[in-house]
Amino acid sequence: MTPGEFRELLIRAVSGDHAAVEEILLLYLPLINRYSVIDGRPDEDCRQYILIHIALNIGKFII
């Protein structure tokens, strides 16, 4: 993804476009998965909690 494409995607995600948010989440999945590990094992509840938290807070990012 080029910087221009990323910027466009981010603008859409921040303005509340669900498809764009989903794409951003996919892009940052490795980071999300890394933080979803509890006691050495991936915790699906934690992952879901993080995903919801991102979806609720992505609009706060100032471009």
Partner 1 sequence: MDHKVKYEKDELRGRFTRFMEVVVRNARNNYLKKLSRQLPIVPLEDVPEEEYAREDMPLIEKPDAFTFEEERLAKAFSQLPLMRQRILTLLFVNELTPAEIAKQMNCSVQHVYNQRSLALKRLRQLLREEGADV
Selected binder of partner 1 within 18, 42, 49, 59 (CB under 8 A): 49
| HSE-up of residue 13 (Cα within 13 Å, Cβ side) | 23
Could you list the beta-strand ranges (E) of the chain. Answer: 37-38, 41-42
Contact between 15 and partner 1 per CB under 8 A? no
Neighbours of 21 (CB within 10 A): 20
- The size of the chain, in residues, is 63
Selected binder of partner 1 within 16, 28, 42, 59 (CB under 8 A): 28
Binding site for partner 1 (CB under 8 A): 3-4, 6-7, 10, 28, 31-32, 35-36, 38, 45-46, 49-50, 52-54, 57-58, 61, 63
